[in-house]
Structure formats: structure tokens, C-alpha cells
Amino acid sequence: MLDRSEINTQPPGQTLLRQGYDDQAISFYEQAIQTEPDAIGYYWHLGLAYLLQGREEEASATWLLVMSQGTPENIEQWTRELSEILDSEAQRQAALSNTQIAWLIRQHLREIAPTEVNNLLYLLLLSLTLGTFAPELLNDWQVIELLEQSSPAAVNSELLLQVLKPILEFPTEETVAFLGACLPHAYPPDIFIDTVISVAVKVGYQGDRPSFAVKLAEACIKLRPDHSLALQHLSCFYTNAGCHQQAIEVAQQFYNNCQNINSQIFGNYLLLRAIVSAGSWSELGRVAERHKSLLLQIIHEQPENLSRGGNLALIVSAFFLPYLQDNIQENRWFRNKIGQLFQKNVDSKTLTPAQFVRSDIEKKFRPLRVGYIAHTFRQHSVGWLSRWLFYYHDRELFPTTIYCLNQNLEDRFTQVWFRDKVNAIHSFGIDAPAVAAQIKNDQIDILIDLDSITLDVTCEVMALKPAPVQVTWLGWDASGIPAIDYFIADPYVLPENAQEYYQETLWQLPQTYLAVDGFEVGTPTLRREDLEIPSDAIVYLSAQKGYKRHPDTIRLQLQIIKEVPNSYFLIKGVADELVIRQIFHELAQAEKVDPGRLRFLPKDPNELVHRANLAIADVVLDTYPYNGATTTLETLWMGIPLVTRVGQQFAARNSYGFMMNVGVTEGIAWTDEEYVEWGVRLGMDEALRWKVTGKLKASRHTSPLWNAQQFTLEMEKAYRQMWLRYLETH
């Protein structure tokens, strides 16, 4: 039935079209044209009626017949009239979710008015919805060129922003060119920048495409050179893309713009991150001392009105202290004080405290609902090491849920090792309250944080206390947040008096805080002859990021090379290659070591090849004050002797704990002098190296470090004991 209200307000033909009576509309307009052949509007609507029936050729012929008979002035006016009719109908069809019809109408509108840029933007949006978009369309339809030629007044800025966001997720040259063409039409600029940066964060971190993210952030800086969020992420993207000097410059620019203590702390943290990532330790001293001074100031002031962004910036601010010095008392003091201040600011904005009222909460021996939260359930050190726990978990006694933050769940590694090994998995961006609400809704009993302060949003979730018992494990040292109850350790990874330095209760597992069943190994690509190293030479290797290359340890490593004749030193790891070369060459000259004995290796194509290439080394030299963790385990698994310097803080005792668990004490040094002595001895004594290798190979069958199934039982036992303790105290 026809809608009478429409009949009263619209011409009959248009009413028929809107009611979907295309056949009747066609008959109406054909008769109307016979009666009034000069009424041009009838032809436009007749063609539209044909088009809605899928009779595209008849629609085009109807319109072209009229156009062919007009003067240039007529054609210009008629084109405008027909465009308005088609645009209106396309919008109506899109509102009705008739996406394919709307797309068809706009394609014909493109043929009639190929330079109508807003129609092209609508077409792009519809193509994205239909899944037919390809970046090549931006050139094929001349969208980029038309945007560059159009005045801002001619472009629908709201539509442009709506189209831009999904297109930016296609990392191509056309996308970057499209973004550049959008800049003159970016209104309002701040909303435009926020949109672009949100996509840059997704593709740069979650999608692991930092070079593309750099281009997106650089476009934002062209709009607002002092935009703090764009500068912040641009520095990080530069670092992750290996553009270290640019990262330092942008971080310095960000810091220079900071006006208050909170922003200065974060700005200085960014600068520390850029410098340490590059391995530019010579630039570090002044920045590091200023950082401690700023932290002391905010700890003294105890602000309780920090914005959410400011509070998140605060919690990560002490991340680099363990890389700079092995001082467990000072580093943990800073960590705990910042954690407490962070918690205070989270609490001040939380309307209701966490309450755990459940019908079964007091049952002691029921299945425990365990949740794990992180952004690293993927090919990442944490992912490689934690996967075995999920593989062996008893999902009946410990039903397990994963909460992924800012991570792609479609990653193959994630699917095989995590998604398929748990009872449930949830994916989130950076909305901490939403994550916490899901955890509470799932009635998780014990929540395990694998990130610590490597992701600020994880810290916020933990501070919201969505689970009765909360634990930090694996990802970094403890965060110092009061809402976290326990930190998982073992007899070796912390000194006996460590509890006095920790906010959290230390939960000591009986043998090791971590175990794996081993590592997949690929085919080696490194050969001595390719590196111009004699077959009878002694090869030392250090494979660590620039974060860990403290100059004092480099000096010790070079002293080893100096003392061992016919030895070479292979250096591999993410950092600014030119800076690292310069540091090693300068220190080599100071230690009177021929720089010709140094080899700087490129990054391996993947983890499997990296492990295989470790076999080129006779001895691996660990870093200090921040040891290797995954790299140490890989070295031991490959049966290669390791020299490590033991300290007091967690980061300085990982390798020591792993070596004790495989039964190897050869290479464990408690002083700088012992580090050099062990390095020289293992290099000079082939029989000793074979002895260590034999122990390491035998340990595969006996060590708790290589028994992830037993380790999982120990973790589950710990969870059960934690729960019983919770019931006793609440």
C-alpha cells in the first residue's frame, strides 16, 4: 500500500520510487514525458527508475539522450540537477542499508560528474563497506588529484574523515598520498589528528608496521608541529622503525614543549627511550640524572588530580632505571612510590570500589577461574616463553581466559598457541574500564598480568582490581601497584632479602619461575668464511638490544677479546648500527683491541634462524646490569657456554637462575673481574667448553627449566594456595 503522507507531500512519480514501485514509476514517467516532453526532470527520474530495476543501459541512454540535445549552459545546469537527484537517492538507499544499490547509483553519478569529489568519497566509503576497496582506486578515480585541486569549502570534511580512517589501514604509497591530499581539508585539525594517530597506533604497534606509522604521524606534524600526542608516538615509531636519531630529535622536541612536572617526566622518559634504544649511552648521563630528579619531585608533591593520560604516562616512567644501574633498593623504591601514586590517581576516579560477591566465592576446592592479561600473546619474547603454560593448563580445574590488549588475534602464532588452548579469549584496544568490566563479569578468581609496566593500559586494568587475587609474572619486574598481590619468583632470581624492597608479596616457586619445553630451530645462515673469520678462531657473541649494551659491560667484553688470541666478537641486536659501531670502536681503541676483530651482524629474518645462528659462537657473553632472558634460554638450549654477571635486581639475575637450573656454574660471575676471568677461561679451554656443552645437552632430559609440564603443575599449585590464603583473610 502507498504511504498517504508521502502522496500528499511529493510528486506521484517520486512517491512511487520511494515506495519501491519501480514498474509503476516507469509507467508514470513514460506517460508524463509523452504529455510534457520538455519537462527535463521526468527524464532524470525515469532513468533513475530504470537504474533501480537494474536496467543500467536504458538508464544511461535516457540521460544521454537529453544531454546530447542541450547547449553547454544547459548541460552544466542539467548535470547539476541530475547529480542532486542521484546523490539524494544514493543517500536514501545507503540509509536503508542497500549498500550495493547505493554504490551502483554513485558509479553512474561518477560517469556523469567525474570531478564531483564528495561523490567519489562516498563511493570509497561504500567500497570499503562492500569489501571491494583497493588502494589503486585512489588513483584510478583521480581522488588524490581532485582533493589537491579542490578548495576546502568544496570538500565534506566530516565525510572525508569517515573515509580516511579505514583507508589508512592499507599500508601503501597510494594511502600516504591520499593522506597528504587530505591535509588541506583537515577540519577540525585536532579531531583529524586524533583519528590519524589512532590508526597509526594500531598499524604501528599492533600491526608491527612502524615505518608506515611514521608516515602517518609525520603528516599530523605537518598540520600541528607541536601536537604532543603526534610527537609522542612519532618518536616511538621512529625508534621501532630503526630511525634512531630522528626518534631522539622528536623526543627532545616533545620534552621542550612540556610545561608541567607530569609531562616533563613523560617527555624525559621518551628521550631516555630513544637514546637507550639507539645505544647512545654517551648522551645518557644528564638525561638519566634529570629523570631521577623529576621523579623525586612528583613523588614529593603527590598530585591526586592527574589526567588519565598523565597517570598512564607516569606508571611507565621508571622503566629504564634497571638498564642504567643494578641498585635494587633505589630502583624498587622508585618503582613502588610511582606505583602507589598511580594507584591513588586511579582510585580517585573510580566511582565504586571492587566488590566480589559471588555465590561460590568461598568454596575452597572448586575449579578456579584464571585470567591472563597482556599485549604479547604473539611472536614476542613473552609469547614464546608463556605459551607452554597454556599448552599444559588443566582447563577443567583451572578454566582459563585470555584478555588481549591492542593485539591482532588473527596472528597465526596467537591462534595456535593461545586462542586454541584456552576456554575463552577476549580482544580489546586500550579501554581499561571495559577490560576490567569483562574480567569482573567473567568472575575471574585469579588474574595474571604478563605485561607489568611494558603496557600502561594493563597497569590501569590491574589497578582497577577486577579480580580478588592479582599476580604479576614473566613480562618484566613487578610494577609496584598496590592492587597487585603477588610477584612470581624463584630461589635464584631475587636475593634472600628481596621482600623488603617489594610492594607485592613475593611468591617463590620451588625451582624456577619459568620453564619451556624447548625452542624450534631453523637453518643457519651465518658462516665463518662469510664473516672472514678463520675456522680455528674463538668466536664470542652478544645478541641484545641497545637497551642492554651498558658501556661498562662492553669494556669487560672487549677485555676478554684482548686476552684471548685469535678471537673475534660478533655483535647483534636492535639499535642504531652507526652508533653501536662507533661505541664499540671507541671502547676497543681505549682497551687496545683491534676493531678488525669485531663483526656487526644484521637482524635475522626470524626467531628460528636467530637460534640456528647462535651455533656460530663458541661462547656467548651476557649483558649487565640487565641480563638476557629469552636469549639466555635460547643459548642454553643450543648448548653454548654463557658468561653472565650476577647482580642484585631481578633483571641482573635471570641468567644466573637459568644456569643454576640446568646445573651449570661455569660462567657465573659475581664481580666484573670474575666476568672477564670466566670469559677468558671458556675461550682458552676447549675441554671446558665441551664439558659445559655436555651438561647443557644432558639437562634437556633432567632440568626443571626444560619441563614446562611440571612447571605448570607448580603454577597451578601456587594459584590454589593463593586462593586458600585469600579465603582465610577475607
- Does 328 lie in the same domain as 379? no
Are residues 29 and 37 in contact, defined by beta-carbon separation less than 8 angstroms?
A: no
- What pLDDT shows up at residue 254? 96
- Does 413 lie in the same domain as 296? no
Region 147-176 average pLDDT: 94
Which pLDDT band, with edges at 50, 70 and 90, does 13 fall under? low
Asked if the structure places residue 124 within a domain, the reply is no
**Residue finishing a domain among 69, 90, 113:** 113
Asked if the structure places residue 213 within a domain, the reply is no
Q: For residues 644 and 653, what is the distance between their CA atoms, to the nearest angstrom?
A: 9
- Does 374 lie in the same domain as 343? no
Asked if the structure places residue 250 within a domain, the reply is no
Asked if the structure places residue 216 within a domain, the reply is no
Mean pLDDT rounded to a whole number for the chain: 92
Q: Per-residue pLDDT tens for 319-369?
A: 999 999 999 999 999 999 999 999 999 998 876 656 666 666 667 779 999
Q: Which of 417, 487, 423, 429 is CA-nearest to residue 453?
A: 487
Residue 728 phi, psi dihedral angles, 5° rounding: -70, -25
Are residues 310 and 262 in contact, defined by beta-carbon separation less than 8 angstroms?
A: yes
- Does 540 lie in the same domain as 491? no
Tally of structural domains, the chain: 4
- Does 374 lie in the same domain as 345? no
Asked if the structure places residue 181 within a domain, the reply is no
Region 638-649 average pLDDT: 98
Strand partners, 259: none
How far is residue 222 CA from its own chain's centroid? Answer: 24
pLDDT for 679 beyond 50:
yes
Asked if the structure places residue 715 within a domain, the reply is no
Q: For residues 267 and 315, what is the distance between their CA atoms, to the nearest angstrom?
A: 13
Q: Per-residue pLDDT tens for 258-307?
A: 999 999 999 999 999 999 888 888 888 899 999 999 999 999 999 989 99
Are residues 427 and 404 in contact, defined by beta-carbon separation less than 8 angstroms?
A: yes
Cis peptide before 188 (omega within 30 of 0): yes
Q: For residues 10 and 298, what is the distance between their CA atoms, to the nearest angstrom?
A: 68
Higher-confidence residue of 661 and 37: namely: 661
**Residue finishing a domain among 455, 478, 508:** 508
CATH of the domain at 33: 1.25.40
Are residues 56 and 109 in contact, defined by beta-carbon separation less than 8 angstroms?
A: no
pLDDT for 594 beyond 80:
yes
Residue 404 phi, psi dihedral angles, 5° rounding: -90, 130
- Does 409 lie in the same domain as 316? no
- Does 580 lie in the same domain as 447? no
Asked if the structure places residue 300 within a domain, the reply is yes
Asked if the structure places residue 200 within a domain, the reply is no
Residue 259 phi, psi dihedral angles, 5° rounding: -110, -20
Q: For residues 370 and 202, what is the distance between their CA atoms, to the nearest angstrom?
A: 28
**What stretch of H or E contains 190?**
helix 189-201
- Does 588 lie in the same domain as 461? no
Q: What is the DSSP string of 385-442?
A: HHHHHHHH--TTTS-EEEEEES--TT-HHHHHHTGGGSSEEEEE-S-HHHHHHHHHHT
- Does 567 lie in the same domain as 418? no
**Proportion of the chain in helix, strand, coil states, percent, rounded to 5:** 60, 10, 30
Cell numbers standing for residue 241: 622503525
pLDDT for 659 beyond 80:
yes
Q: Per-residue pLDDT tens for 377-421?
A: 998 999 999 999 999 999 999 999 999 998 878 788 999 999 989
Which pLDDT band, with edges at 50, 70 and 90, does 5 fall under? very low
Cell numbers standing for residue 683: 675461550
pTM for the whole thing?
A: 0.86
CB contact set of 171 (below 8 Å; sequence gap of 6+): 203, 207, 209, 212
Provide the domain limits for residue 101.
1-113
Q: Where does 438-481 show beta strands of DSSP type E? A: 446-449, 469-472
Using only C-alpha atoms, the chain has a radius of gyration, in whole angstroms, of: 32
**What stretch of H or E contains 405?**
strand 400-405
- Does 408 lie in the same domain as 313? no
Q: Where does 609-703 show beta strands of DSSP type E? A: 619-621, 642-645, 668-669
How far is residue 651 CA from its own chain's centroid? Answer: 23
Looking at residue 447, the DSSP 8-state letter turns out to be: E
- Does 682 lie in the same domain as 559? yes
CATH of the domain at 560: 3.40.50.2000
- What pLDDT shows up at residue 701? 96
Region 559-571 average pLDDT: 97
Higher-confidence residue of 52 and 265: namely: 265
CATH of the domain at 489: 3.40.50.11380
Side-chain half-sphere CA neighbours of 315 within 13 A: 31
Q: Per-residue pLDDT tens for 186-242?
A: 988 999 999 999 999 989 987 889 999 999 999 999 999 999 999 999 999 999 998
**Residue finishing a domain among 508, 539, 571:** 508
Looking at residue 402, the DSSP 8-state letter turns out to be: E
3-class SS at 429?
coil
- Does 489 lie in the same domain as 416? yes
pLDDT for 686 beyond 70:
yes
- What pLDDT shows up at residue 3? 41
